[in-house]
Amino acid sequence: MDSIAVFATLLLVTQTFFGTPVASFCLKREARNVLNNRSITRIEEKEAAITEDSKKKLIPELKKELRTNSILLLKVAFVAFLASKAAELTNGTVNVLIVCLVFGVIAREIGFLEKDPMTMANSQGFVMIALLAVIFGNLSSATPEMLMSLIVPIVGCLVLGVIGLSIFAAIAGKILGIDMYMSIAIGSSALFGFPGTFIIPNEVAAVVAKNEEEKKIILEAILPKMIIAGFVTVSIASVVLAGVMTKFI
């Protein structure tokens, strides 16, 4: 069924252009709300820092002179290597990125990885370029002829999808006590997933924040939620739902 394969491919390529503006708009509103309440945020941040410092890690922190860029990147690479090998044991049942996420959390909790090691290793810019390359690589799947033949159903599906996601995300956020704009941004992550869930919050923080302190406050409020949302919506929920729906085709 070539038409269905082409349709799915085009959806994958074009849905980012519908989800990204929605997420960007909602995250900007959420970022401004976070800054307006930053006095409360600072108190919570201090309490979290005290709790973090009081935790005893299984692996003691490296001495300052040993926390070089090379060693920090080596530790991240080692965790990623272990995660990829563990993912192979599932024969593709569990996506390797999900396993990397779990291993990263575990490595951080036991003290093997530092907080935000990529920034500490001055590699954040390089990572951003690599993630953008992944996104633009998807565009090579579409041709003008393919796009024109399916433009109407694609736009219709995506418009209805954005409306549906926004409505039900807002309802879920109301039930769970999450701000409406943050809820809609989380729901829209189903349209682009990782690495968009990493790139968009960083871009929003860079635009809204007036200094590095505000940028840090914004990212700590929105980035973890968007990263987790991308894995849940795209890597788990969408895969399960697609597996059920394909049986009816």
CA distance 9 to 242: 14
Per-residue pLDDT at 47: 55
Determine if the peptide bond prior to 195 is cis (ω within 30°). yes
Tell me how far apart the alpha carbons of residues 199 and 52 are, in angstroms, rounded to a whole number. Answer: 26
CA distance 103 to 41: 28
By the 10 Å C-beta count (0-12 exposed, 13-18 middle, 19+ buried), 165 is classed as buried
Contact 80, 99 (CB under 8 A): no
Q: Which two tokens stand for residue 67?
A: 């926390």
Break the chain into its structural domains and give their ranges.
Answer: 2-56+127-248, 62-113
Give the amino acid at 227: I
Q: Say which DSSP state 140 is in.
A: G
Q: What is the pLDDT of residue 176?
A: 93
* Per-residue tens of pLDDT for the chain, all 249 residues: 566 667 777 777 788 889 999 999 999 999 999 988 875 555 455 555 555 555 677 888 888 888 899 999 999 999 999 999 998 998 877 778 788 888 998 999 998 998 888 888 888 788 878 877 766 665 666 677 766 777 888 889 899 999 999 999 999 999 999 999 999 999 999 888 888 899 999 999 999 998 888 898 999 999 999 999 988 888 778 777 777 776 776
